[in-house]
Chain A
Amino acid sequence: MGMKVGARCIAGALMAIVAGGVMHGCASAPAEPDVTDRAAAMLKSSFKARGQATMDRLDQDETQRLCSEYAGRTLPASTAETIEKANLATIRYPADGKLVGDWKSGEKIAQSGQGFQYSDDPKKSAGANCYACHQLAPQELSYGTIGPSLYGFGKRRGFTDATRKYAWDKIYNAEAFAACSNMPRFGQHHILTEQQIRDVVALLVDPASPVNQ
């Protein structure tokens, strides 16, 4: 369904930017290692650690590096595959095999945008901020559209093991399915705990969840 669309659309939009830049006479020549390296160095000298937001957050992993490098250009199929494969390999499952938790807790997690900002209390558990980008329960009018609507997620896909596993995997590491997706890697980067991922999965796949009404 629509989940993959986001990333591909972005890649397309970024193409358009380069065209826009040319009109201004300012488009950089494709892939200038000098500019890339100098921009990275300038960034690192322009920030300071604050609270839990330490300077190592500016160090890119391979996925971040590749996605930044290819922003504005078509991501070669082989690179996309490399990214997706590497990220797929990071996905872990609970020891007890239970992927679905409580949708009511999931709703709270989906509503909360707190966590990992230097202004946040690191002792409080982080939210997933799903509503910032997605429609979920239709009662919530204040939802974003960076990602696709997830209203009816379980109902449309079927309340099956495959749907539950896909929801887990996607939340755990979205890059495994859509290279350079806009969605954070909630499991791989330990943004959410195992139980929190279960609860968000429940919000998506529990037949009783408002998402599936």
Chain B
Amino acid sequence: MNTQRRQAMKAASAWTLVTLVAAAGWLKPGDAAAEDWNKGAFDTHSMDETLKALGGSPPAPSKDIVFFSTPDIAENGAVVPIGIRSSVPKTESIAILIEKNPNMLAAVFDIPPGTDPSLSTRIKMGQTSDVYALVKADGKYYVASKEIKVTLGGCGG
């Protein structure tokens, strides 16, 4: 696949989600209680849908966001371990996005001061896909991505 186009798509898709999410007022500072679940953000179904909401500039790719204990290949898509650590100063939140899932957004974590911007959890993946770690820090957005392959099981699944 064309690498440039791929990179552009990656950045764009993560970015559109940011605008959508930000527009919905979800990643607002101090929203640590998170009592309300943001339906709009979790309802983004496809690349097209998110692309429609495009505007502004994409989040900056950052080497300060790393995946740890996250395998390149998942033996089963139902449970894919994901670890994300951000060393971007003033990290406020970390979101996990899966490009090819029916809904792109898997989870978002608000990180209050005093909490290590590093966490691990497990997510479902319907198929091989890029996974994004989207970080909001000091009001700005940063992103890192990683492809995770999902394999078929034995004995016909």
Q: In the complex, what's the smallest C-beta–C-beta distance from B1 to chain A, in angstroms?
A: 15
A113: nearest residue on chain B (CB-CB)? B156
Number of A residues with CB within 8 Å of any CB on chain B: 10
Contact with A along B96-117 (1 / 0, CB 8 A): 0000000000000000000000
Q: Considering only CB atoms, which chain B residue lies closest to A127 in the complex?
A: B156
Contact digits for A116-128, partner B, Cβ 8 Å, 1 yes 0 no: 0100000000010
Q: Is the CB of B156 within 8 A of A129?
A: yes
A132 contacts across to B, CB distance below 8 A: 154-156
For A126-137 the 0/1 string (1 means CB < 8 A from B) is 010100100000
Q: Does A144 contact B (CB under 8 A)?
A: yes
Q: Is B46 an interface residue (CB 8 A)?
A: no
Q: How far is the CA of A127 from the CA of B156 in the complex (A)?
A: 9
A89 within 8 A of B: no
B156 pairs with A142, CB closer than 8 A: no
Q: Is the CB of A114 within 8 A of B156?
A: yes
**For B22, what are the chain A residues with a Cβ–Cβ distance below 8 Å?**
none
- Is A77 part of the contact surface with B, judged by Cβ < 8 Å? no
Task: Report B121-157 CB contacts with A as 1/0, cut-off 8 Å.
Answer: 0000000000000000000000000000101101111
B56 to chain A, nearest CB (A): 39
Asked if A112 lies at the interface with its beta carbon under 8 angstroms from chain B, I say: yes
Q: Is A113 a contact of B151 with CB atoms below 8 Å?
A: no
**Does chain B have a CB within 8 A of A141?**
yes
Contacting residues, chain A, for B156 (C-beta < 8 A): 112-114, 117, 127, 129, 132
Flag if A144 contacts B154 (CB, 8 Å): yes
Query: In the complex, A112→B152 CA distance in Å?
Result: 11
Task: Please report the C-alpha to C-alpha distance between residue A132 and residue B154 in the assembled complex, in whole angstroms.
Answer: 6
- Considering residues B152, B154, B155, B156, which has the most beta carbons from chain A within 10 angstroms of its beta carbon? B156
17 A–B contacts from the bound complex (CB under 8 Å): A112-B156, A113-B155, A113-B156, A113-B157, A114-B156, A117-B156, A127-B156, A129-B155, A129-B156, A132-B154, A132-B155, A132-B156, A141-B149, A141-B151, A142-B151, A142-B152, A144-B154
A residues with a Cβ closer than 8 A to B are 112-114, 117, 127, 129, 132, 141-142, 144
